[in-house]
Amino acid sequence: MSKESSKTIESVLHEKRVFRPSEQVSDNARISSLDDYQNIYDLARKDPEKFWEEAARRELHWFKPFHQTLNWSNPPFAEWFSGGTTNISYNCLDRHITGPKANKTALIWEGEPGDVRQFTYKELHTDVCRTANALRTLGIKKGDLVALYMPMVPEAAIAMLACARIGAPHSVVFGGFSSDALRDRLIDGEAKAVITADGGFRKDKAVPLKKAVDAALSDGSCPTVKSVLVVQRTKEPIDMFSGRDHWWHELVPSQDEYCPAQQMESEERLFVLYTSGSTGKPKGVVHTTAGYNLWAHLTFQWIFDIKDNDIYWCTADVGWITGHSYIVYGPLSNGATTVMYEGAPRPSNPGAFWELIEKHKISIFYTAPTAIRAFMKTGREIPDKYDLSSLRLLGTVGEPINPEAWMWYREVIGGSKCPIVDTWWQTETGGVMISPLPGATPTKPGSATLPLPGIEADVVDSDGKSVEVEEGGYLVIKKPWPGMMRTIHGNPQRFKESYWEYLPFINGKPIYFAGDGARRDSDGYFWVMGRVDDVINVSGHRLGTMEIESALVSHPFVSEAAVVGRLDDLKGESIVAFVTLESGRDVNDQLFDELRSHVSKEIGSIARPDEIKFTDALPKTRSGKIMRRILRALASGEKISGDTSTLEDRSVLDKLRK
Ligand code: WT7
């Protein structure tokens, strides 16, 4: 642990402030007191299946009703709502357009250059149907995986819903990933088509997405990809390969404006989304139709206590799970108005977020701690220039939030009147697991507070036994829930081992662990401390240290590499790489830049090391394991504590210190 991290933990440990929901907030809320929450929680705990059964029947449209709520006879492979058929695109669109919501705004989109597009539910329905029909003309059938490599344009959401409509699982690849990373995902998922754009605007620059797709497909390693659908966004010149590439604006608008929603079995795939683990290549997390839909829907309703007149904005990218669940599926399934923004705050427009809130009278704002810390640093003068009075609720997600940033968010952005929901969850959990409910839960700066109804969360030791109050341990979930990932695409064994067999079974039952450490206080509140595995969180982006290491060693000059995270005031963590070179290779000034570009090319610029330390050797145990604990201490310039007697060559330490 570094100095800063112990400082953060110290301040969290001594955090005693409690903020109760105001009467005004509680009176208007669905769940309006801690007792209400406790009652629902107890109900769900006593008879989970009944709880989920009722919720699923009440909240989703079923073409055919399900006959079994949960089949957990072969854990950890769960089947939810067996026998039923539904469609998330139907739940997000069709069921709203026959009623008063038909002409309600579903999506407000603002482009980086300030262009705005809005869609009513009816309009969105038509666009999704046309796109679904376009995909069918390209030969996409139920079960075919479609990859999306898109900027934050409405077509990204439309394409997701269109895929879901015809039962083609989507796999969204974040537009910041490199062509090599895209290629890996296309191969692993055996994608049949790619939907992309000529480019996207990112911080005043045009990013060439289609070129990256061309590069990914150029060497013939993804033979399953037969077509590429291209949205025109930046109008930069691109190559179009006849027979393979199609312009969206030429193919989609001429399609029939209705496409029936495919009746999907509950457990048929909705999407695959790649995320980083502590070992190996990124894993394709699989989510299925009904359970995911229910969880995104219910959690959105609970956490944001959504009202018909809310204008809701989540600043994530659709390339991450937050964008899936809380830009697209959760809000639309509830018939809410969701805002999508292509841009980001940047030196030319540091007030971009606040301008958007003022302009669209946004009432719910959901963002990441790293963004809040960056705003704190540039000072409150910037947000103070804008009218943020439309806000009624604030949310945070992606990494632990330090109490200072939480307080700043509350006072400066929320005018001390908006509750803050600090939502803990993961790609694997499909939706939020631990979070305050705005009208019910007293909040404490830095705590995600309590698990949602139906979620049995705990903090355990390495034997799987609950730890004492205030003691640190592994954050685990003890019961299956509808939104849980179902498997890793193509690797059910890895799914089982990495999430459900990491800790021993308790009473013969597997428990879910996905890498976070936490503690609970005497009120039962959860304080998430961050990852305890070799996954690092850089500005809310999740990266495996192994992935970055393999990117580094794939460079011809590099012999060995070890990557660790160093606590960073702004980004949460920054990336420090220790590198040994092949013999005969010398360290020079260009090498640092070259290795950074190499990692950018292999993974994407989000994985670029902030610092590279060149060394003759890495500290290893006699069995050849790199001692990361030592590297972490060295990276943050602190004393190496603990046992170093297992080091194979102690002189390595002295050299590294120099
Ligand atoms: C990891 C999951 C879930 C959407 C965004 C990230 C960290 C997430 C919190 C929070 C503390 C958090 C965890 C988790 N994390 N939310 N509120 N407090 N840590 O999804 O890329 O799958 O990353 O993000 O470490 O394991 P992801």
Q: Given CA atoms 133, 136, 140, 143 in this order, what sign does their dihedral have? A: positive
Amino acid at 135: L
Q: Which two tokens stand for residue 258?
A: 């209705």
Angle between helices 179-189 and 209-218 (to 10 degrees): 60
Supply the pLDDT for residue 204.
80
Whose alpha carbon is nearest atom 11 of ligand 1?
Answer: 400
Mean pLDDT, the chain, rounded, equals 94
Mean predicted confidence (pLDDT) in 39-61: 98
Q: Quickly count: other Cβ atoms within 10 Å of residue 463's Cβ.
A: 8
Mean predicted confidence (pLDDT) in 65-90: 98
State how far the Cα of 177 lies from the Cα of 342, in Å rounded to an integer: 16
State how far the Cα of 274 lies from the Cα of 640, in Å rounded to an integer: 35
The 3-state DSSP class for residue 17 equals: coil
Whether ligand 1 lies within 6 angstroms of the CB of 422 is answered as yes
Amino acid at 157: A
> How remote is the CA of residue 542 from the centroid of ligand 1, in Å?
8
Do 246 and 253 touch, CB atoms closer than 8 A?
no
Supply the pLDDT for residue 8.
56
The 3-state DSSP class for residue 174 equals: coil
> How remote is the CA of residue 113 from the centroid of ligand 1, in Å?
30
**For residue 549, what is the enclosing H or E element?**
helix 545-553
With the most atoms of ligand 1 within 8 angstroms of its CB, the residue from 424, 432, 459, 519 to mutate is 424
Whose alpha carbon is nearest atom 19 of ligand 1?
Answer: 399
Torsion of CA 371, 392, 16, 513, to 10 degrees: -60
With the most atoms of ligand 1 within 8 angstroms of its CB, the residue from 425, 444, 513 to mutate is 425
State how far the Cα of 531 lies from the Cα of 510, in Å rounded to an integer: 20
For residues 585 and 63, the model is more confident at: 63
State how far the Cα of 327 lies from the Cα of 542, in Å rounded to an integer: 19
178-204: per-residue pLDDT in tens? Answer: 999 999 999 999 999 999 999 999 878
Whether ligand 1 lies within 6 angstroms of the CB of 275 is answered as yes
Mean predicted confidence (pLDDT) in 450-462: 97
Q: Which two tokens stand for residue 400?
A: 């632990």
Supply the pLDDT for residue 256.
98
Atom of ligand 1 nearest to the CA of 448: 17
Do 453 and 41 touch, CB atoms closer than 8 A?
yes
Supply the pLDDT for residue 587.
86
Which of 491, 461, 454 lies closest to 476 in space, CA to CA? 461
Whether ligand 1 lies within 6 angstroms of the CB of 627 is answered as no
Atom of ligand 1 nearest to the CA of 542: 21
Residue labelled with tokens 């070799």: 534
State how far the Cα of 266 lies from the Cα of 288, in Å rounded to an integer: 7
State how far the Cα of 152 lies from the Cα of 341, in Å rounded to an integer: 7
> How remote is the CA of residue 451 from the centroid of ligand 1, in Å?
15
**For residue 520, what is the enclosing H or E element?**
strand 512-520
State how far the Cα of 296 lies from the Cα of 414, in Å rounded to an integer: 25
* Contact partners, residue 290, CB within 8 Å, separation at least 6: 56, 60, 66, 80, 81, 84, 86, 264, 266, 267, 482
Which of 634, 629, 601, 598 lies closest to 615 in space, CA to CA? 634
State how far the Cα of 445 lies from the Cα of 425, in Å rounded to an integer: 18
State how far the Cα of 289 lies from the Cα of 299, in Å rounded to an integer: 16
In the chain, what percentage of residues exceed pLDDT 90?
Answer: 85
**For residue 568, what is the enclosing H or E element?**
strand 558-568
> Residue 4 pLDDT more than 80?
no
DSSP codes joined into one string, 288-308: EHHHHHHHHHHHHHHHHT--T
Segments in 14-47 forming alpha helices (H):
23-27, 34-46
Q: Calculate the CA 523 to chain-centre distance.
A: 28
Whether ligand 1 lies within 6 angstroms of the CB of 8 is answered as no
> How remote is the CA of residue 425 from the centroid of ligand 1, in Å?
5
97-138: per-residue pLDDT in tens? Answer: 999 999 999 999 999 888 999 999 999 999 999 999 999 999
**For residue 428, what is the enclosing H or E element?**
none
Whether ligand 1 lies within 6 angstroms of the CB of 322 is answered as yes
Supply the pLDDT for residue 2.
34
Amino acid at 409: Y
Question: Nearest 5°: phi and psi at 516?
Answer: -100, 145
Do 273 and 287 touch, CB atoms closer than 8 A?
yes
Q: Which two tokens stand for residue 100?
A: 């008063």
Atom of ligand 1 nearest to the CA of 435: 17
Question: Nearest 5°: phi and psi at 518?
Answer: -155, 170
Supply the pLDDT for residue 6.
45
Mean predicted confidence (pLDDT) in 9-20: 78
> How remote is the CA of residue 586 from the centroid of ligand 1, in Å?
39
Do 558 and 552 touch, CB atoms closer than 8 A?
yes
Q: Given CA atoms 290, 296, 299, 301 in this order, what sign does their dihedral have? A: negative
State how far the Cα of 463 lies from the Cα of 446, in Å rounded to an integer: 27
pLDDT bucket at 10, cuts 50 / 70 / 90: low
* Contact partners, residue 158, CB within 8 Å, separation at least 6: 124, 127, 128, 131
The CA-atom distances, in angstroms, between 8 and each of 58, 390, 398, 442, 529 are: 43, 32, 17, 22, 10
With the most atoms of ligand 1 within 8 angstroms of its CB, the residue from 314, 322, 394, 399 to mutate is 399
Q: Calculate the CA 510 to chain-centre distance.
A: 25
Lowest mean pLDDT among 346-350, 482-486, 535-539: 346-350
Q: Which two tokens stand for residue 218?
A: 């150029």
Atom of ligand 1 nearest to the CA of 428: 22
Lowest mean pLDDT among 339-348, 357-366, 423-432: 339-348
Question: Nearest 5°: phi and psi at 507?
Answer: 50, 40
* Contact partners, residue 624, CB within 8 Å, separation at least 6: 648
> Residue 1 pLDDT more than 50?
no
296-335: per-residue pLDDT in tens? Answer: 999 999 999 999 999 999 999 999 999 999 999 999 999 9
Whether ligand 1 lies within 6 angstroms of the CB of 317 is answered as no
Supply the pLDDT for residue 636.
87
The 3-state DSSP class for residue 600 equals: helix
Whether ligand 1 lies within 6 angstroms of the CB of 516 is answered as yes
Is omega for the bond preceding 345 within 30 degrees of 0, making it cis? Answer: no
